[in-house]
Amino acid sequence: MAGRGCAPTGPPPGSDERGFPAHQAPRCAGLAALDAAVVGCRACPRLVAWREQVGAARRAAFRDREYWAKPVPGFGPPDAALVVVGLAPAAHGANRTGRMFTGDASGDFLFAGLHAVGLASRPTATHRGDGLELYGVRVTAPVHCAPPGNRPTPAERDTCRPWLAAELGLLAPGLRAVVALGGFGWQALLPALGAAGWPLPRPRPAFGHGAELTLPAAGGRPELRVLGCYHPSQHNTFTGRLTFAMLVEVLTRARELAGLPAGPKDP
């Protein structure tokens, strides 16, 4: 019998229930387990329907390819000192290839930038198994399923938050810096950092390209630097709002704050 004041217990939520990420994410002992659990998540009915519908219909250029059509886990080493946080998988990009930022123009721009500052082995990312390696950096998103119109709802963002909070918590011992891509990434990242145990300033600082925030050391963790960067969406890169030089400048700063050396590149 439950003691006084104990919450009633019941069966754990299934993967298609809204409480699944909050229940499951903190129970993952490492990033490999977390990534596997993320891939099995079906907690957002609208996004599950969309990612699978896109995967079944396919774009003409990819008609002969099998789409991933599942949640896309983070990509990069489990001891990353730097994390780059985007928005969500693109319908015909990461939702097709199964790897963050892989297979679309935004990813082409981002990985070229990571390569330019010595954090990626090559400037292009085409598919899982293409040999791309990231050095000390992990790329992830606050929403792991492709949303219609690239717009997750606030409820979907909040439902998915425990996955990002757990990912940041598992990386915490060696994590030194985080780059948030765009205002959505920034606004979704801060509460995830709070949920992972970092103290947040009040009021929360606004997003801006080049914005920097320092979260103080706490709970045995070193201080964490948070940087803002415009999202490398085609809207931003085509209009010149985000130039390649601007991206490289932020990534260089982030690499230095994370204490990362420039790694080897493919010839």
Chain contacts with ligand SF4 (rule: CB under 6 A)? 21, 38, 41-44, 47-48, 71, 143-145, 156, 159-160, 163
Closer Cβ to ligand SF4, 115 or 157, answer by number: 157
Minimum distance from residue 40 beta carbon to ligand SF4 (Å): 9
Given a contact cutoff of 8 angstroms between Cβ atoms, the answer to whether 168 and 192 are in contact is yes
Token pair 């293409």 is at which residue? Answer: 130
Closer Cβ to ligand SF4, 92 or 176, answer by number: 92
Given a contact cutoff of 8 angstroms between Cβ atoms, the answer to whether 139 and 110 are in contact is yes
Taking alpha carbons only, the member of 127, 160, 142 closest to residue 48 is 160
Closer Cβ to ligand SF4, 48 or 116, answer by number: 48
Sequence letter at residue 138: R
Minimum distance from residue 156 beta carbon to ligand SF4 (Å): 6
Closer Cβ to ligand SF4, 26 or 173, answer by number: 26
Minimum distance from residue 192 beta carbon to ligand SF4 (Å): 12
Q: Which helix (H) or strand (E) holds 29?
A: none
Taking alpha carbons only, the member of 191, 84, 101, 83 closest to residue 146 is 101
Taking alpha carbons only, the member of 24, 144, 125 closest to residue 74 is 144
Minimum distance from residue 203 beta carbon to ligand SF4 (Å): 27
Closer Cβ to ligand SF4, 48 or 165, answer by number: 48
Minimum distance from residue 71 beta carbon to ligand SF4 (Å): 4
Taking alpha carbons only, the member of 43, 35, 36, 40 closest to residue 17 is 43
Buried b / exposed e along 204-216 (16+ C-beta atoms within 10 A): eeebebeeebebe
